[in-house]
């Protein structure tokens, strides 16, 4: 983690501006009054020039910017969302320190408006045709309705399990894919633990449908399901996801109340009992990386923990996020390699997701991002050897506002990687 350089003073906004979080409240009810820009460091600046930028952004993230891709190194890109009232101050700072950047998205609100229009059009089409579109984004109500129908129509292979209720009393639903048998070895997959990462929910829906469609046709998938069960939680953070539709598209956390703070929510992927409260998480309840008051304080996390430990036979763990196009494995909170490092590298590197890249798409594989309290580190520490995090498209052009036109290509390129990792677990029991 970067520390503030000695003698360094952050710039003050040229226009009086409230901190970022109050602006998000304004954004919730007055969309037209809020303009955002996404600024991306090119990573080409000298390390000595970039260090102060990283230190300033890290130290003042709740006052000036919203990280879409956090600072990890002076030589890696950083994506930040900047409120219009702070834009000139940030630009001036970058210019004065000779740090190059490019504007990736001029106005996030324009993309949000287009996204909502596309969803409305898709909804009208679905009502007229009685079909569910996997190439569109959906609300939580639409997803829950689809899950109910999907499990009912494919009861020979799929069952719906409720593992708990969210903070706001929404059901925590898991799809179980199984060809029979009791307490077989199994795979856990979750999407949407960070609520603004809509492409992950969409990929989860497509994947569920693909499992049913390809069983009996795809020999690898068929062999997997004849041996293993698959558990898939599509809406892992339902309260946050609902909030991204009703109030704030950029909401990341849960929606639990934090006593003594006006800020709500916990980062559900910093709340796990694996180096809880360490590097890459925050004790500030207003931070997007807030780890919560204690490990597993979030019912959305605790429900998974209880289910997985109660099952006792989960052999692979795959948590799907966006964005950056990465495939990662433990550890994220320390430089020490796991005892299974070489096998995890091998399993990941065999993935067609990495070997057969579509034109123009670049992906990377390696240990997790610098973060504590993450699900894959918890899973690995609790004996689930094959623990991976996917970061889906893209690398910054659209960020969390990935167009619906990229849902199917994203899901299709992720599918063979999932099969490769799960099949590796099947062939290497432990």
Give me the active site residues, please.
Answer: 391
Q: For the chain, percent helix, then strand, then coil, each to nearest 5?
A: 40, 15, 45
Q: What angle, rounded to 10 degrees, do the helices at 84-96 and 47-59 form?
A: 150
Phi, psi angle pair for 67, to nearest 5° = -70, 130
Q: Whole-angstrom Cα distance, residue 246 to residue 243? A: 5
Residue bearing tokens 């919203």: 66
Strand order in the sheet with 79-83: 66-69, 79-83, 36-41, 101-105
Q: What CA–CA distances, in Å, run from 153 to 71, 147, 230, 274?
A: 46, 10, 18, 39
Query: 75: which residues sit within 8 A by CB, 6+ positions away?
Result: 43, 47, 50
User: Look-up: residue for tokens 């207003």?
Assistant: 286
**How many CB atoms sit inside 10 A of residue 356's CB?**
10
């Amino acid at each position: 983690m970067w520390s503030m350089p000695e003698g360094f003073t952050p710039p003050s906004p040229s226009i009086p501006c409230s901190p970022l979080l109050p602006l998000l409240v304004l954004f919730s009810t007055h969309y037209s009054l809020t303009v955002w820009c996404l600024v991306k460091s090119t990573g080409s600046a000298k390390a000595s020039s970039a260090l102060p930028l990283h230190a300033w952004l890290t130290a003042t993230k709740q006052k000036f910017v919203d990280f879409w891709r956090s600072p990890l190194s002076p030589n890696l890109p950083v994506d930040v969302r900047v409120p219009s009232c702070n834009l000139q101050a940030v630009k001036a700072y970058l210019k004065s320190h000779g740090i190059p950047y490019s504007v990736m998205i001029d106005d996030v609100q324009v993309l949000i408006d287009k996204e909502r229009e596309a969803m409305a059009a898709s909804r009208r089409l679905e009502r007229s045709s009685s079909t569910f579109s996997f190439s569109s984004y959906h609300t939580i109500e639409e997803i829950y309705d689809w899950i109910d129908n999907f499990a009912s129509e494919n009861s020979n292979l799929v069952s719906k399990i409720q593992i708990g209720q969210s903070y706001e009393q929404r059901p925590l639903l898991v799809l179980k894919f199984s060809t029979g048998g009791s307490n077989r070895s199994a795979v856990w997959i979750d999407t949407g633990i960070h609520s603004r990462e809509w492409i992950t929910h969409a990929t989860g829906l497509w994947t569920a449908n693909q499992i049913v469609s390809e069983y009996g046709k795809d020999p690898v998938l068929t062999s997997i399901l004849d041996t293993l069960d698959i558990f898939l939680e599509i809406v892992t953070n339902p309260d946050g996801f609902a909030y991204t539709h009703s109030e704030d598209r950029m909401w990341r956390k849960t929606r639990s109340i934090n006593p003594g703070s006006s800020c709500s929510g916990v980062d559900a992927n910093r709340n796990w009992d694996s180096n809880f409260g360490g590097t890459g998480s925050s004790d500030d309840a207003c931070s997007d990386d807030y780890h919560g008051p204690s490990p597993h304080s979030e019912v959305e996390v605790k429900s998974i923990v209880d289910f997985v430990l109660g099952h006792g036979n989960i052999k692979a763990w795959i948590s799907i996020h966006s964005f950056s196009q990465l495939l990662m494995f433990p550890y994220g909170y320390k430089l020490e390699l796991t005892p299974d490092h070489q096998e995890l590298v091998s399993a990941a590197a065999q993935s067609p997701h990495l070997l057969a890249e579509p034109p123009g798409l670049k992906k990377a594989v390696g240990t997790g991002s610098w973060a504590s309290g993450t699900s894959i580190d918890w899973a690995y520490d609790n004996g689930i050897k094959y623990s991976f995090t996917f970061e889906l498209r893209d690398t910054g052009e659209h960020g969390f506002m990935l167009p619906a036109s990229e849902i199917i290509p994203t899901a299709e390129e992720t599918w063979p990687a999932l099969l490769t990792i799960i099949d590796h677990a099947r062939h290497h029991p432990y």
